[in-house]
Structure 1
Amino acid sequence: MAQALTREAIPEPYRWNLADLFPSPEDWEAERQALLAELPKLEALRGTLHQGPQQVLQVLQFADELDQRVSKLFAYALLARDEDTRVPEAAQRYEQAVALAVAAGRAGAWITPELLSFSDDELRAMLEAEPRLAPFRRAIEQAIRSRPHTRSAEVEELLAASAQMAQATGNAFHFLDNADITYGTVVDEDGSTVEVTKARYRLLLERRDRRVRQAAYEVFNAPYLAHQHTFAALLSGSVQRDAFYAYARRYPSALHAALEPENIPVELYSTLIQAVRDHLPVLYRYFALRKQVLGLDRLRMYDLVVPLVLMPPRRYTYDEAREIVLAALQPLGEDYVQALAEGLAARWVDVYETPGKRSGGYSLGVYGVHPYILLNWGETQRDVFTLAHEVGHAMHSLFSSRTQPHPTAEYTIFVAEVASTVNERLLTAALLERADDPQMRAALLTDSIETFRTTVYRQTMFAEFERWLHEVVERGEGVSADRLCRQYAELVAAYHGPDVEVDAQVAVEWSRIPHFYRAFYVYQYATGLIAATALADAIRAGEPGARERYLTFLSSGSAKDSLDLLRDAGVDLLASETYERAFGVFAQEVTALESALRTLGLLPADGLSSEAH
Structure 2
Amino acid sequence: MHTYKTRKDVPIEETWRLEDIYASMDEWKSDYEQVRELARRLKKFDGKIADGATLLEYLTLEEEMEGRYRKLYAYGMLQSDLDTRVTTSQELRDKAIQLGQQVSSARSFFMPFLLSLEENSLTTFIKETEGLRYFEKDLYEAFRYKAHVLTKEKEEVLAMMGETLSAPSKIFGMINHADIQFGKVTSDKGEQVELTRGMFAKLIKSEKREQRKEAYQAYFKPYKQSANTIAATLSSAIKNNVLTSKLRQYPSALEKALFSDMVPKEVYENLIKATNEQIGAMHEYTKIRKSLLGLDELRAYDLNVPLVHGVEKEISFEEAYETMLKSLEPLGEEYVSTLASFKEKRYFDVRETPGKRSGAYNMGVYGVHPFVLLNHQDDIRSLFTLTHESGHAMHAYYSSKHQPQISAGYSIFVAEVASTVNEILLIRYLLRTTDDVNMRKYLLNYFIDSFKGTFFTQVMFAEFEKITHEKAENEEPLTADVFNHVFEQIYLQYNGEELVINDEVKYGWARIPHFYRPFYVYKYATGYVSAIQIADNILAGDKKMLQNYLTFLKSGSSKYPLELLAETGVDLTKPEPIQNALSIFRDLVSEFAEM
Normalised TM-score (structure 1): 0.94
Q: Is 1:41 paired with 2:41?
A: yes
- Quick one: which amino acid aligns to residue 491 of structure 1? I
How many Å separate the matches in 1 of 2:22 and 2:134? Answer: 27
How many Å separate the matches in 2 of 1:577 and 1:128? Answer: 43
1:251-310 Cα distance to aligned partner (Å, 9 max, x none): 122112111122111111101100111110111111121111111233211111111111
Alignment of 1:462-501 (within 5 A): 462-501=461-500
The farther-off stretch of 197-206 and 126-135 is 126-135
- Quick one: which amino acid aligns to residue 443 of structure 1? Y
* 1:19 paired residue number: 19
- Quick one: which amino acid aligns to residue 504 of structure 1? D
CA contact (8 A) 1:539 1:546 kept: yes
> How many residue pairs end up in the alignment?
595
* 1:610 paired residue number: none
- Quick one: which amino acid aligns to residue 114 of structure 2? L
Q: Is 1:159 paired with 2:163?
A: no
CA drift of 1:547 comes to 0.8
How many Å separate the matches in 2 of 1:481 and 1:89? Answer: 43
CA contact (8 A) 2:311 2:438 kept: no
CA drift of 1:190 comes to 5.5
How many Å separate the matches in 2 of 1:509 and 1:324? Answer: 37
CA contact (8 A) 1:268 1:574 kept: yes
How many Å separate the matches in 2 of 1:364 and 1:87? Answer: 21
How many Å separate the matches in 2 of 1:526 and 1:179? Answer: 30
* 1:608 paired residue number: none
CA contact (8 A) 1:135 1:408 kept: no
How many Å separate the matches in 1 of 2:154 and 2:167? Answer: 21
Q: Is 1:327 paired with 2:326?
A: yes
Partner SS for 1:116: helix
How many Å separate the matches in 1 of 2:57 and 2:511? Answer: 48
How many Å separate the matches in 2 of 1:319 and 1:405? Answer: 34
Q: Is 1:340 paired with 2:339?
A: yes
1:196-235 Cα distance to aligned partner (Å, 9 max, x none): 2221222112112222222222222222222222222111
CA contact (8 A) 1:49 1:115 kept: no
Partner SS for 2:376: coil
- Quick one: which amino acid aligns to residue 527 of structure 1? T
Partner SS for 1:375: strand
CA contact (8 A) 2:444 2:588 kept: yes
* 2:397 paired residue number: 398
* 1:524 paired residue number: 523
Alignment of 1:120-139 (within 5 A): 120-139=119-138
- Quick one: which amino acid aligns to residue 47 of structure 2? G
1:126-159 Cα distance to aligned partner (Å, 9 max, x none): 4455453333233112211110111111111111
How many Å separate the matches in 2 of 1:235 and 1:56? Answer: 42
CA contact (8 A) 1:349 1:374 kept: yes
Partner SS for 2:116: coil
CA contact (8 A) 2:204 2:216 kept: yes
Q: Cα gap change, 1:57/1:433 in structure 2, threshold over 3 Å: closer, same or farther?
A: same
* 2:542 paired residue number: 543
* 1:8 paired residue number: 8
How many Å separate the matches in 2 of 1:40 and 1:368? Answer: 24
1:443-462 Cα distance to aligned partner (Å, 9 max, x none): 11111111111221111111
Q: Cα gap change, 1:227/1:95 in structure 2, threshold over 3 Å: closer, same or farther?
A: closer
How many Å separate the matches in 1 of 2:44 and 2:183? Answer: 59
Alignment of 1:195-594 (within 5 A): 195-594=194-593
CA contact (8 A) 1:365 1:371 kept: yes
- Quick one: which amino acid aligns to residue 103 of structure 1? Q
Percent identity, please: 39
CA drift of 1:373 comes to 0.9
CA drift of 1:125 comes to 4.7
Q: Which runs of 5+ in 1 are unaligned?
A: 599-613
- Quick one: which amino acid aligns to residue 566 of structure 2? R
- Quick one: which amino acid aligns to residue 10 of structure 2? I
Q: Is 1:184 paired with 2:191?
A: no
Partner SS for 1:363: strand
Partner SS for 1:414: helix
How many Å separate the matches in 1 of 2:43 and 2:433? Answer: 60
Q: Cα gap change, 1:183/1:89 in structure 2, threshold over 3 Å: closer, same or farther?
A: closer
* 1:605 paired residue number: none
How many Å separate the matches in 2 of 1:594 and 1:535? Answer: 26
CA contact (8 A) 2:464 2:490 kept: yes
CA drift of 1:61 comes to 1.8
1:490-547 Cα distance to aligned partner (Å, 9 max, x none): 1112111121122321011111111111111111111111111111111111113111
- Quick one: which amino acid aligns to residue 255 of structure 2? H
CA contact (8 A) 2:51 2:125 kept: no
1:470-495 Cα distance to aligned partner (Å, 9 max, x none): 11111111122222212221111211
The farther-off stretch of 324-333 and 167-176 is 167-176
The farther-off stretch of 502-511 and 220-229 is 220-229
Q: Cα gap change, 1:355/1:208 in structure 2, threshold over 3 Å: closer, same or farther?
A: closer
1:48-95 Cα distance to aligned partner (Å, 9 max, x none): 43223x332232122111111111111111112222222222222211
CA drift of 1:167 comes to 2.3
Partner SS for 1:225: helix
Query: Pairwise CA RMSD of aligned residues?
Result: 1.7
CA drift of 1:192 comes to 4.0
Q: Which runs of 5+ in 2 are unaligned?
A: none
How many Å separate the matches in 2 of 1:3 and 1:477? Answer: 54
